[in-house]
Structure 1
Amino acid sequence: MKDLNNLLQPLDYTIIVGYLLILLAIGYWVSFVKDKKQNENLFLAGNSLGWASIGLNMWGTNVGPSMLIASASIGYTTGIVAGNFAWYAFVFIFLLAVVFAPRYLHARVQTLPEFMGKRFGDSTRNILAWYTLITILISWLALTLFAGGILIQQLLGFPMWLSVISMVLLAACFSIAGGLKAIAYTNVFQMLLLIAVSLLLTVFGFMKAGGVMEVYNNTPGEFWNLLLPADDKNYPWLAIVLGYPVMGVWFWCTDQSMVQSVLGAKTLKQGQLGVNFIGWLKILDVPLFILPGIICAVLYPNLKSPDEAYITMVTGLFPTGMIGLIVVVLIAALISTIGSALNSLSTVFTMDIYVKNHKPDASPAEIVRIGRFVNIAGALIAIFITLAIDSIKGLNLFDVFQSVLGFIAPPMSVVFLFGVLWKRTTTRAANFTLTAGTVISLGIGVLYLWVFPSAEYPAWPHFLQLSFYIFVLLATLAFLITIFDKNAASNERNILDYTNLAKPSKDVWILWILLIVVMVGLYVFFNGH
């Protein structure tokens, strides 16, 4: 098969350039012509989100170009087993709805660091601000740059370092021209287009392969099992059952980007219905995002890298012109994520660390100057992290994503579970877990991914099992610190009062029971092969 960058025709390049110019023009109009007060009101609408907005916003945050490329990659190599990362999530989405959301909304907080500040005090809130910076740098910025770098590599043949720098510069150009606001305005359209493209890929792929049964008959039987044997080298069932919950609690219950929509709910019931809605939407992840990779394994079995599966399907099944449109939407959405991550990074550092702790009387001009400096510094740090991620050997894109997230998750999962479920948990235990626990977790991650890479040192357990072991270690330490903390009584004043906590309504319970029945049915059906 010829190089992917040779498959783009002049019409595709024309559409790519034209689309980017249109976005820049819309960005200029939004930033310098349209009434700015109206824009502010959009973001200061308060608690006004209904269940549909909450579900779609959460799914939109979760479904990005990085996920499309990575999901097709893992589908190409292992089948639907990666569907566990979408379908097993319903357990932790349920946990968000019935355990965490009532407490978040009862506490009337805007951010999760603020919630933990009410629970454990300002010291924990300050540490969480730094922790948030680390997670934004790694999970939202570096991993998105890595996925974007792979896309640019495939399309233009650039080396990774040049691809990543190009992405950062492109994001900077949009930011300067106000283009990121344009992408924010067009993000709903872009998300719907990406979902439609994935649906068409699945349909066109089945048609070209000769139908559903042809694809089924030309793939290994284990491709259609969600739970694989304990000795499977890719995703053994024990690793998924034990390890994914650590990541699931962190991502679905404690990550600000995911929980933000729930915090903006009109009422608790709307928040819980919205969270239930994303549980149903997550069912679509397997047919929309993983199936194209499985079909690609049938149609194009000899790819140089499984990470090429998504773009190979696009270039192989879609006509000239449409390829260019899809590529530019992928790039624009990646730039949007990069720009949003840089903006979040500068906001958290400037407001939660610099202004709050160092210069409360900072002038607006100084705040803007610090914010720009953090943007530049964050971009440079993210480039180096991305190049480090690129040096990881023996893992495809999806595995890189999940392994990196698996080492970020344990400290936050421990702190929030203990903070919400155990009244006795002390500030000292929480702060130790967030500081020393993060050093332990990320340190083991560096050893696993770079110093003694698992591809060369097979004695390592699966990264999901490793994430579980780290979680157990940190939970044990948090428990022991709390038990032996002589100042435990002084923490009582920080405990939030949940005596009048609202209970889920009958409607909410009925919808959750229905979803649980459907999910259990899917697991039974996809484990009989």
Structure 2
Amino acid sequence: MMEGNSTVGSFTPAQQFSVADVVVVVVYFSLNVAVGIWSSCRVNRNTVSGYFLAGRDMAWWPIGASLFASSEGSGLFIGLAGTGAAGGIAVTGFEWNATYALLALAWVFVPVYISSGIVTMPEYLQRRFGGERIRMYLSGLSLLLSIFTKISTDLYSGALFVQVCLGWDLYLSTVLMLVVTGLYTIAGGLAAVIYTDALQTLIMVLGAIMLAVKAFNEIGGYPNLEEAYLKAVPSKIVPNTTCHLPRADAMHLFRDPVSGDLPWTGMTFGLSIMATWYWCTDQVIVQRSLSAKNLSHAKAGSILASYLKMLPLFVIIMPGMISRVLYPDAVACVDPEECTRVCGAAVGCSNIAYPKLVVELMPSGLRGLMIAVMMAALMSSLTSIFNSSSTLFTMDVWRKLRPGAGERELLLVGRVVTVVLVALSVVWIPILQSSSGGQLYVYIQAVTSYLAPPVTAVFVLAVFWPRANEQGAFWGLMAGLALGLARMGLELAYPVPRCGVPDRRPWLLADIHYLHFAMLLCAATGAVVVGGSLLTPPPP
């Protein structure tokens, strides 16, 4: 993490930030606020449907843009570019797999959700199985995942970018973005979130394309990328190791199922399980499709988002690889002391790949545009999480505690929950600073693989197997949670060793990739659901 001013001192960003950059950032914020005000005036926000589902009157193009923007938070910009710098293009699978999951969302899951007349995902399982305990459990799990993985990832990544590029104080910049984001989320509901997402998608795509073109020009174009990347070695290495060398399979999307850092078996099957959870059952994503004026608009929105998800390989991941080519001593450092000097993280500095390109390559004015791009990514993701989390608490928890609550009370609770999430996010900042910056993206994917597969198994069986009942689903979730937490506890107790340190982790960690574990966990949960359902009376 950041220690003192080491990162700022390395890049001296404060002197590079010009008046033109300030103007661009101010214009961006002004447009953002204007769009938020305009969109909130279009929808009746004094009803639950108007505030939480944008009146169910959204067209396909803002839905598609919002689906894309909600998934491309600053954590994805920083994480994808950093993983691309460290290991090549295989991480593209996380983005391209989403294209199939988005189609499954629109053609398989959304029709079921719409016919059920639900607002939240836990509400669907309650209507499908009956009882309250599954709904309450999933609501609590979703809120915890939002606070400790989604929000924390975006906060750290956004703060890292702003600190590297602008030299601003970490707390000041993060609190400022949180306050602005929270204000228009509280004020406008889902309509404001979706329309500002549409604006931010335009800014993100244009800015990322401009930086990608600039980066490719620096190395003489795409034909030179592979050769240049394989030669991108830092000058200071750890003796008698090979961790300073780029992966020989850097340009391979499909990698060895045993020795690969992202094995093709895990990327094909394990990742599909995680993608189904995120795109087809997660409140943040599904809520956008449920706001569509009809099913045709929901389908068209998913198709648009699918096309947009093809872009990150060319505008985020490959530029991350180019950053390693241009600045190997910083981005590809492996010596713990050198990495600590460069970015404050002894495990590596690949996370600075994208902001390093911005401060070094972008001219005055365009640098401000890229700052706006990252702010857009951060705020887009946070608005989605704030709105959807407040929906979960209000509709699944508060209405259970207060069955007689009226529309006005529910709307007030939704806004208060957003304020609480903002406060918890600010409190979480010191923990972000003590986390392992070099492992942030892998950490998020790993945590997802420990907690999401049981939810995927239950939703898929709920939709496709009528015999599944509440007892089987609940105990399947409990069994999956126990197994996932056990693996997660081992992961925290035995972190991945640094370069040159022998790997003495238990075989469950060293030999079973987290994507393979996701496959096993989903299968185990499904077996418990099926067994429990067959051993108990069928649903009425």
Map of 1:115 onto structure 2 = 124
Map of 1:480 onto structure 2 = 531
Map of 2:92 onto structure 1 = 83
- Greater displacement, 17-26 / 217-226: 17-26
**Aligned residue type for 1:71:** L
- Equivalent position to 1:232, from 234, 238, 259: 259
- Sort the Cα spacing of 1:29 and 1:326 in 2 relative to 1 into closer, same or farther, 3 A: same
- Greater displacement, 192-201 / 46-55: 46-55
- Equivalent position to 2:473, from 408, 422, 430: 430
Map of 1:499 onto structure 2 = none
Map of 1:309 onto structure 2 = 353
CA distance in 2 between counterparts of 1:12 and 1:433 reads: 56
CA deviation digits over 1:246-275, x for unaligned, max 9? Answer: 211101211122223433445545544443
- Sort the Cα spacing of 1:339 and 1:25 in 2 relative to 1 into closer, same or farther, 3 A: closer
Answer whether contact 2:212 2:319 (CA < 8 A) is retained: yes
CA deviation digits over 1:262-308, x for unaligned, max 9? Answer: 33445545544443443333222211221111221222222241111
Alignment pair present for 1:141 and 2:151:
yes
- Greater displacement, 143-152 / 193-202: 143-152
Alignment pair present for 1:256 and 2:307:
no
Alignment pair present for 1:3 and 2:47:
no
Q: Return the offset for 1:331.
A: 2.2
- Sort the Cα spacing of 1:383 and 1:440 in 2 relative to 1 into closer, same or farther, 3 A: farther
Map of 1:398 onto structure 2 = 441
TM-score (norm 1): 0.79
Answer whether contact 1:23 1:179 (CA < 8 A) is retained: no
Answer whether contact 2:122 2:396 (CA < 8 A) is retained: no
CA distance in 1 between counterparts of 2:33 and 2:43 reads: 16
Answer whether contact 1:25 1:179 (CA < 8 A) is retained: no
- Sort the Cα spacing of 1:392 and 1:436 in 2 relative to 1 into closer, same or farther, 3 A: farther
- Equivalent position to 2:370, from 316, 326, 342: 326
Matches within 5 A, 1:15-414: 15=23, 18-19=26-27, 22=30, 26=34, 37=44, 46-49=55-58, 51-123=60-132, 124-155=134-165, 164-165=174-175, 167-169=177-179, 171=181, 185-220=195-230, 221-232=248-259, 234-303=261-330, 304=342, 305-354=349-398, 356-362=399-405, 370-371=413-414, 374-383=417-426, 387-388=430-431, 391-393=434-436, 395-414=438-457
Answer whether contact 2:93 2:253 (CA < 8 A) is retained: yes
CA deviation digits over 1:219-270, x for unaligned, max 9? Answer: 2352211012234352222332342122111012111222234334455455
Q: Return the offset for 1:183.
A: 7.5
Counting aligned pairs with the same residue, the percent is 28
- Sort the Cα spacing of 1:244 and 1:323 in 2 relative to 1 into closer, same or farther, 3 A: same
- Greater displacement, 424-433 / 457-466: 457-466
Answer whether contact 2:21 2:367 (CA < 8 A) is retained: no
Q: Return the offset for 1:415.
A: 0.9
Gaps of 5+ in 1: 494-529
CA distance in 2 between counterparts of 1:181 and 1:252 reads: 20
CA distance in 1 between counterparts of 2:171 and 2:517 reads: 30
CA distance in 2 between counterparts of 1:393 and 1:98 reads: 39
CA distance in 1 between counterparts of 2:19 and 2:430 reads: 32
Answer whether contact 2:81 2:351 (CA < 8 A) is retained: yes
Alignment pair present for 1:469 and 2:513:
no
CA distance in 1 between counterparts of 2:430 and 2:147 reads: 13
- Sort the Cα spacing of 1:36 and 1:225 in 2 relative to 1 into closer, same or farther, 3 A: closer
Q: What's the secondary structure of 1:225's corresponding residue? A: coil
Answer whether contact 2:228 2:325 (CA < 8 A) is retained: yes
Alignment pair present for 1:14 and 2:22:
yes
Answer whether contact 2:472 2:529 (CA < 8 A) is retained: yes
Q: What's the secondary structure of 1:89's corresponding residue? A: helix
Map of 1:504 onto structure 2 = none
Q: Return the offset for 1:85.
A: 0.7
Q: Return the offset for 1:175.
A: 6.6
- Sort the Cα spacing of 1:13 and 1:102 in 2 relative to 1 into closer, same or farther, 3 A: closer
Answer whether contact 2:106 2:299 (CA < 8 A) is retained: yes
**Aligned residue type for 2:80:** S
Q: What's the secondary structure of 2:468's corresponding residue? A: coil
Answer whether contact 1:73 1:293 (CA < 8 A) is retained: yes
CA deviation digits over 1:388-445, x for unaligned, max 9? Answer: 4654448433223322322231121011011112221110122223445335424532
Q: How many residues align?
A: 486
**Aligned residue type for 1:359:** R
TM-score (norm 2): 0.78
**Aligned residue type for 2:389:** L
CA distance in 2 between counterparts of 1:45 and 1:184 reads: 9
**Aligned residue type for 1:293:** G
Q: What's the secondary structure of 2:328's corresponding residue? A: coil
Matches within 5 A, 1:450-469: 450-455=492-497, 457-459=504-506, 460=509, 461-469=512-520
Q: Return the offset for 1:171.
A: 4.3
CA distance in 1 between counterparts of 2:32 and 2:430 reads: 28
CA distance in 2 between counterparts of 1:273 and 1:28 reads: 23
CA distance in 1 between counterparts of 2:429 and 2:454 reads: 22
- Greater displacement, 416-425 / 56-65: 56-65
**Aligned residue type for 2:531:** L
- Sort the Cα spacing of 1:395 and 1:299 in 2 relative to 1 into closer, same or farther, 3 A: closer
CA distance in 1 between counterparts of 2:535 and 2:375 reads: 52
Q: Return the offset for 1:77.
A: 1.1
- Sort the Cα spacing of 1:366 and 1:480 in 2 relative to 1 into closer, same or farther, 3 A: same
Q: Return the offset for 1:364.
A: 6.8
- Sort the Cα spacing of 1:471 and 1:7 in 2 relative to 1 into closer, same or farther, 3 A: farther
Matches within 5 A, 1:441-452: 441-448=484-491, 450-452=492-494
CA distance in 1 between counterparts of 2:355 and 2:396 reads: 40
- Greater displacement, 371-380 / 18-27: 18-27
Q: Return the offset for 1:90.
A: 3.4
- Greater displacement, 436-445 / 319-328: 436-445
